Amino acid sequence: MNRHCRNLLFAAFLVLAVASYAGNALIGVGQGILAIALIASFWKNAEWDAKLVPDRKGVAASTWLLIALIGVNIVSIAANLDSYEKPFKDLKKVRHLILPVGVLLIPAVRRQVLTHARSWFRYVWIALVVTASAVTVADMINMLTGFHLFAPIEGIERTIRLGGVFGMVMTYGYSMQFLILVITGMLLLLWQKGRAKDPLVWRITLIAFLICGLGMFLSGSRGALLGCLIGAVVLVFVLRWRWLYFAFGGMFVVALIAAILLGNQLLEIRPNENSRFAQWKTAAVTGIENPVFGIGYRQFEKQSRDLKQAYGFPYDVTWRIDEEGNPVRGWLHSNAHNNYLEAFASTGIFGMLALLGFLLCWLREVWKDPDTRLLFGPAIIGFLVAGIFENSFTDGEVTTLVMMFYVGSQFAIKMGSSPDSEEQEV
């Protein structure tokens, strides 16, 4: 591969690592660099047969299901074209899934990533956790003082829940759910393999664990926190270290006491909780009414209010508050608050099955090796659980982060997933 292509590829990984917690604009820059690197690598590869026909035996089942999910998303747009005002706007969102597949399927790119994986992934990891920690600290300062160091919007309100640079609580909480479990797995893996082998990564990861763990709690995202709790239980099950029982148990008790003392919304039963069930019911009925193609990729949120009216559903208790402080009744205009029902309603039964199949196959693949099981297994299980309570997989920042870890896990599997393995020349 041309040296410039290799440098572009590495730059794209670094930019995307930072962009996961810096917003969609920077994600677009990283994806643009990655697209250029993939196209250039494809054409500069001298082995013409290899670049056109990737080794099918080397393609994981999860990757085939990801390709199927991409195809279903595109077909659902084509089948419901008349319901889109700007179909290309939604079609281009599929790039979040297409580009990772390109990294895994183009032989020249795959060889270069494997060759430089150890050094590349180290820098990408540091960039990711430092960015996530910096954004979290800035958000905590905003919570205490009203000043946000990285806020791009003038006059941003003082936050009562951590929501990242743009104050998007659900985006921050559900991306942090995945990240904090990977950080925990990385800490335990480094402890297991020997912290002295890379003391810088160990210290940065430990600091990130403390900062991001607190940030996860302060986001108040209950579905994401439940995913973290389930992931922590899986970690204990995987390692069976006795001290982990006390460590995670102690953290849970401290978090519970803090929630009680601070009046945290984690323990609050709100009158508008019925709106989440209404979104689930509406998405389920929509999927049943449109089982093959759905109503179109990313269309459920745009049509949810009209769908409720068409189905004759009663008013929701929405998040809007009237002048007297009472919740306003109306039809909530929102996503399905569930990854699987959102896929069912938007892309039909095949979209839902492709998404579930992708996540379950990915889990099965990382579970075969003890290192990848520790590093990625709890995060994937936590994401599966958290996905019951929020539509996070169509969120650009969350999808970018999850796909980065997916690509990383596939290369870790190919390398034997050992952090002390030598760089491989393929």
Percent of the chain with pLDDT over 90: 41
* Amino acid at residue number 424: Q
Asked whether residue 265 carries a pLDDT value surpassing 60, the answer given is no
Average pLDDT over residues 393-420: 84
Judge residue 376's burial from the number of C-beta atoms within 10 Å of its C-beta, 0-12 exposed, 13-18 middle, 19 or more buried: buried
Query: How does pLDDT run across 287-318, given as a tens digit for each residue?
Result: 999 999 999 999 998 888 888 888 888 766 65
> Residue 219 — very low, low, confident or very high, per pLDDT cuts 50/70/90?
confident
DSSP 240-293: --HHHHHHHHHHHHHHHHHHHHHT-GGG---GGGHHHHHHHHHHHHHHHHSTTT
Average pLDDT over residues 394-416: 91
Distance of CA 246 to the CA centre of its chain: 29
How far apart CA 94 and CA 50 sit, in angstroms, is: 25
> Residue 382 — very low, low, confident or very high, per pLDDT cuts 50/70/90?
very high
Asked whether residue 11 carries a pLDDT value surpassing 80, the answer given is yes
Asked whether residue 131 carries a pLDDT value surpassing 70, the answer given is yes
Q: Which residue has the higher pLDDT, 25 or 108?
A: 25
List the domain boundaries for the chain.
3-53+106-268+368-415, 57-88+269-367
| CB-based contact 415:421 (threshold 8 Å) | yes
Judge residue 364's burial from the number of C-beta atoms within 10 Å of its C-beta, 0-12 exposed, 13-18 middle, 19 or more buried: middle
* Amino acid at residue number 331: W
How far apart CA 97 and CA 298 sit, in angstroms, is: 14
What confidence score (pLDDT) does residue 408 get?
A: 93
